[in-house]
Amino acid sequence: MAKFLITGGAGFIGSNYLNIMVNKYPKDDFVCLDSLTYAGNFLNLEKIKNNSNFKFIKGNICNKKLVFELFKKEKFDYVINFAAETHVDRSIVNPTIFIKTNVLGTQVLLEASRKYRIKRFHQISTDEVYGDLPLNRKDLLFLEDTPLKASSPYSASKASADLLVLAYHRTYNLDVSISRCSNNYGPYQFPEKLIPLMIKRALNNEKLPIYGNGENVRDWLYVEDHCEAIDLIVRHAKSGSIYNIGGTKEINNLEIVKKILNLLNKDDSLIEFVNDRLGHDLRYAMDATKIQKELNWSIKNDLSLGLKKTINWYLNNQEWLKKVESKEYLNWLKTHYKNN
């Protein structure tokens, strides 16, 4: 029996993780701490909200007083830090909140973990900390010891958090692990990110804005496969270890958007090329051999299965799509895509 603090558990990946693990481990207790930003939604936790081994606390990871009181009261064994500002485009418009939550917020959690002597601090990181790879060198992949070379304010904040986690391990001997994952997709993903945004717009017969020429490559992973990998790492990996997760399907943005249109029986003429993202990373590609070999992880959902499941979920949950549309989000769409 163990007690878990799950920060950012009302967001996309955190809620998928909780929806699986709260039922899979009925003897463990899960406390979700989430400040419910525009990207977090309590609706995502509807299915588990009444489980006796689940509790939700609304609060900010940057609030030291609240975080320390929570650690003192709950006596956590494990902390998994999903909480973050996550949208690269927003980090280009306003980097400050990314530094606050992703760097300073992580440091507050690390301090509390050190003081209250938890068993393991796990940081959810990203492939973006490695920067990007050229389009014409398919032989090059990110490895766990690839130097950090972040491009955007978002990825720089995530790389900074990784360094802090490793510093707490080295300096204070805090038990830590880090997972760096490629692009996730699946249920409950907020519709500012490529796949749900394109599904939503296609369903409404709106134009689908593709940045630049659509040749940028991402390495897509179905969210439940990511959650299983996190569970393996948290429970079985050595302290201080880093694992890449991904390496399943490299595909460029134009191709994936065409696949979505095809599955929805919509015409490619909805596609519209728009101004490129500043500093747009060209290609991400993970070598996930380490987690496959050491922890026996493998994917269960390839892109064609995962994309079908995802599209079905959005088709069956159009009410969810409407409910998560806050005024703030609608303003973001209006200003960010003003010419489309």
Q: What is the identity of the amino acid at 35?
A: S
Encoding tokens for residue 43?
Answer: 């609706």
Question: Judged by CB under 6 A, does residue 288 bind ligand NAD?
Answer: no
Question: Judged by CB under 6 A, does residue 194 bind ligand DAU?
Answer: yes
Encoding tokens for residue 295?
Answer: 């922890």
Q: What's the min distance (Å) between Cβ of 206 and ligand DAU?
A: 11
Q: Which residue blocks in 215-340 are alpha helix, DSSP H?
A: 223-236, 253-263, 289-295, 303-316, 318-323, 327-336
User: What is the total count of residues that contact ligand NAD (CB under 6 A)?
Assistant: 30
Question: Judged by CB under 6 A, does residue 250 bind ligand NAD?
Answer: no
Q: 134: Cβ–Cβ under 8 A, 6 or more apart, which residues? A: 140, 282, 283
CA distances from 199 to 130, 143, 206, 218, 264 (A): 29, 32, 10, 17, 8
Catalytic residue among 29, 34, 127, 225: 127
Question: Judged by CB under 6 A, does residue 122 bind ligand NAD?
Answer: no
Answer with the entry of ligand NAD, ligand DAU, none that 132 interacts with (C-beta below 5 to 8 A by kind): none
Answer with the entry of ligand NAD, ligand DAU, none that 40 interacts with (C-beta below 5 to 8 A by kind): ligand NAD
Question: Judged by CB under 6 A, does residue 18 bind ligand NAD?
Answer: no
Question: Judged by CB under 6 A, does residue 86 bind ligand NAD?
Answer: yes
Among candidates 306, 277, 287, 84, which has minimal Cα distance to 184?
A: 306
Q: Is 154 designated active site?
A: yes
- Residues 274 and 280: their CA atoms lie apart, in Å, by 13
Only one of the segments 32-40, 204-212, 290-298, 317-325 lies at the binding site for ligand DAU (rule: CB under 6 A); that segment is 204-212
Q: What's the min distance (Å) between Cβ of 172 and ligand DAU?
A: 27
| 29-88: contacts with ligand DAU (CB under 6 A) | 86-88
Answer with the entry of ligand NAD, ligand DAU, none that 247 interacts with (C-beta below 5 to 8 A by kind): none
Question: Judged by CB under 6 A, does residue 234 bind ligand NAD?
Answer: no
- Residues 177 and 189: their CA atoms lie apart, in Å, by 25
- Residues 307 and 195: their CA atoms lie apart, in Å, by 9
Q: By CB under 6 A, name the one of 4, 21, 29, 35 that touches ligand NAD.
A: 35
Q: Is 219 designated active site?
A: no
Q: Which residues of 315-333 are buried (b: 16+ CB within 10 A; e: fewer)?
A: eeeeebbeebeeeeeeebe
CA distances from 15 to 46, 187, 262, 293, 340 (A): 10, 9, 28, 27, 31
Question: Judged by CB under 6 A, does residue 10 bind ligand NAD?
Answer: yes
Q: Which residues lie near ligand NAD (CB under 6 A)?
A: 7-8, 10-14, 34-37, 39-40, 60-62, 82-86, 101, 105, 124, 126, 158, 181, 183-184, 190
Which positions are annotated as active-site residues?
A: 127-128, 154
